[in-house]
Amino acid sequence: MTGLSGEKFDLLVIGGGITGCGVARDAAMRGLSVALVERDDFASGTSGRSSRLIHGGIRYLEQGQLHLVHESIRERQTLLRIAPHLVKPLAFTWPIYRGARVGKVKLSAGLLVYQLMAVGRSRKHSTLNAAETLEREPSLKSAGLTGGAVYYDACTDDARLTVANAVAARELGATVMSHTRVTEIIRDGSKAAGALARSQHSGESREIRARVVVNATGVWQNAFDSDERARRLRGSKGVHIGVLRERVGNREALTLISPVDGRVMFCLPAGQQAIIGTTDTWTDEPPETVHASASDVDYLLRSANAYFPRAQLTPDDVVSAWAGIRPLASTQAANPSAVSREHSIVTDSSGVINVTGGKLTTYRSMAAEIVDRVQEALGREKKAAPTDSVELPGADRPKEIARLQHEDPALSKPLVEGLPYTGAHLVYGVSKEMAQDLSDLLIRRTHLAFETRDHGKSVAPRSADIVAPLLGWNDQMKRARIREFEEDVAHMFAISKA
Ligand SMILES: Cc1cc2nc3c(=O)[nH]c(=O)nc-3n(C[C@H](O)[C@H](O)[C@H](O)COP(=O)(O)OP(=O)(O)OC[C@H]3O[C@@H](n4cnc5c(N)ncnc54)[C@H](O)[C@@H]3O)c2cc1C
């Protein structure tokens, strides 16, 4: 680990999910000296396991969370503007069936409010009759279909949006480290003064001194809370499955009400795949190894089959299944779906600023609020950064990948036939997106591990050969990295019986 000895940063951010990376970018843009430390890869936690939506959150209207919807719609428009290469508009069809919990009148009223909140910032929704709904999505069940609506939100690449914030922070002068775990908060008396951090690869430990510490470790947060009082987090597990889109037949995105429990769920297009999700159940599973269970998969298949009867999906159709944990404010609520997705920022008695909850969509405004607190703690005047107008890095990726392929035609060969990933994507991931190992590359800089039944195991050796010269791996290191990758995908994509 270089560049840390003797240096005292204004801010140490622990955790390189979307929250921590967003905070690091905002703080660096305000001119603070910043260190960002992530135990594994950026977005290896919840931020790389989301539904990949940048959305107003229409379902929150039902719960009366108008503030969250308003903020989310504003942020959706901001992200479409500052990251058009990572955030794209997406049309959703919401079919309505006779006797549905959300009927025509309720949906029209909800979409009208949604529209009014986005006035001038979104394409207008429209209502559909049954024939129009089927024209948009011919694979839907026709029996009982009374109509529907089409409305507009946006989708993203969650992991690369997170990485883009880390890259931006680094370009602005922040010291940004992945694969480095904070093992302990250092205190001067009772006040937090930095942390001890250990490199995952070298095992070397260093002290990182900082005037202010932000704990953005998401579901890991409780591990660092010095105050019992401040332990305010509970995890809710969300599972997605990926199946071949030609099996489901969806053309675009669909918002559906699960016939199993009446929850809002999505069927989303992702290249050749349809992603179906999600579940929402309290969990105590460790976030490092959280994965889907057979009953999670069964719930999602039963829900989807009710809408796409011709598909009759079975567990054999599942190309991959994965889980993430939502960090939610601690509550006794029986049903996690009822818990607010608003964030909370709590400074504990040692001065550590802890962040709980939030959404991928609202990360930028949440980061600005956190950095206001940091400036307050530093005794400096609050000075907003133009994070809503400066473009996020990475727009040049297609051009850079084409250049790499032109210079070395071997890098044009698809890693897996039929998928849009080549050796050049891996080289770009290492050289521009701070990827350090095969999981970073095959799970998060590309989505190859989600989109193949073996989760990328068969291309791991070839991928290791391509990036070894860039990462300085010898044969022994290559073998070790392949083994670690196999362990990572075995944890992430396992489907347990219970
Ligand atoms: C199933 C599911 C679907 C979702 N879908 C959406 C969606 O479509 N749209 C949306 O807006 N939101 C969505 N969300 C919510 C959103 O994904 C989360 O709110 C957000 O990703 C949380 O980010 P975070 O940075 O707080 O946490 P994380 O992404 O978990 O980041 C915390 C980081 O801290 C690191 N860390 C932990 N301990 C240490 C340590 N000791 N030292 C250093 N680093 C450490 C972890 O490795 C991790 O990378 C979804 C959530 C789930 C679970």
Give 65-155+234-329's CATH code, choosing from 3.30.9.10, 1.10.10.10, 2.60.120.10, 3.40.50.720. 3.30.9.10
pLDDT of residue 63: 75
Instruction: Evaluate if residue 220 carries a pLDDT over 50.
Output: yes
Task: Assess contact for 151 and 111: CB atoms under 8 A.
Answer: yes
Can you tell me which atom of ligand 1 is nearest the CA of 323?
1
One fold for 8-47+159-232+339-378 and 65-155+234-329: no
Mean pLDDT of 229-256: 89
Give, for ligand 1, the residue of 359, 450, 492 to mutate: max count of ligand atoms closer than 8 Å to Cβ: 359
Q: What distance in angstroms lies between residue 357's CA and the mean position of ligand 1's atoms?
A: 9
Task: Assess contact for 314 and 301: CB atoms under 8 A.
Answer: yes
pLDDT of residue 227: 60
pLDDT of residue 231: 56
Mean pLDDT of 457-484: 98
Can you tell me which atom of ligand 1 is nearest the CA of 277?
1
Q: What distance in angstroms lies between residue 19's CA and the mean position of ligand 1's atoms?
A: 7
ω before 362 within 30° of 0 (cis)?
A: no
In angstroms, the CA 304 to CA 11 distance is: 46
Residues with CB under 6 A from ligand 1: 14-20, 37-40, 44-47, 49-53, 181-182, 216-220, 238, 278, 324-327, 358-361
Can you tell me which atom of ligand 1 is nearest the CA of 240?
1
List beta partners, residue 202: none
Mean pLDDT of 269-283: 95
Give, for ligand 1, the residue of 40, 55, 208, 217 to mutate: max count of ligand atoms closer than 8 Å to Cβ: 217
- Of the chain, the percentage scoring pLDDT greater than 70 comes to 96
Fold (CATH) for 8-47+159-232+339-378: FAD/NAD(P)-binding domain (3.50.50)
Instruction: Evaluate if residue 228 carries a pLDDT over 60.
Output: no
Q: What distance in angstroms lies between residue 193's CA and the mean position of ligand 1's atoms?
A: 25
Give, for ligand 1, the residue of 50, 78, 444 to mutate: max count of ligand atoms closer than 8 Å to Cβ: 50
Tens digit of each residue's pLDDT (9 = 90 or more) over 43-88? 999 999 999 999 988 878 777 788 888 899 999 999 999 999 999 9
Domains of the chain: which residue ranges? 8-47+159-232+339-378, 65-155+234-329, 397-496
Give, for ligand 1, the residue of 46, 155, 346, 354 to mutate: max count of ligand atoms closer than 8 Å to Cβ: 46
0.85 exceeded by pTM:
yes
Provide CATH code, domain 397-496.
1.10.8.870
Instruction: Evaluate if residue 432 carries a pLDDT over 70.
Output: yes
Closest among 444, 469, 455, 467 to 416, alpha carbons compared = 455
Q: Whose CA is nearest to atom 14 of ligand 1?
A: 50
pLDDT of residue 2: 40
Q: What distance in angstroms lies between residue 42's CA and the mean position of ligand 1's atoms?
A: 10
Structural tokens at position 296 = 């999670």
**DSSP letter string, 262-315:** --EEEEEEETTEEEEE---EEE---TTT--EEHHHHHHHHHHHHHH-TTT---G
Can you tell me which atom of ligand 1 is nearest the CA of 40?
47
pLDDT of residue 1: 45
CB atoms closer than 10 angstroms to residue 312? 11
ω before 278 within 30° of 0 (cis)?
A: yes
Could you tell me the pLDDT band of residue 353, with boundaries at 50, 70 and 90? very high
pLDDT of residue 64: 76
CB atoms closer than 10 angstroms to residue 147? 19
Instruction: Evaluate if residue 322 carries a pLDDT over 90.
Output: yes
pLDDT of residue 246: 96
- Of the chain, the percentage scoring pLDDT greater than 90 comes to 82
Mean pLDDT of 193-206: 95
Q: Is the pLDDT higher at 335 or at 423?
A: 423
Structural tokens at position 170 = 């680094």
pLDDT of residue 256: 97
pLDDT of residue 4: 59
Sign, CA torsion 423/428/429/435: positive
Please give the DSSP secondary-structure letter assigned to residue 422: B
Q: How far apart are the first and last CA of the chain?
A: 42
Choice among 94-103, 223-232, 413-422, 449-458 with the minimum mean pLDDT: 223-232
pLDDT of residue 487: 98
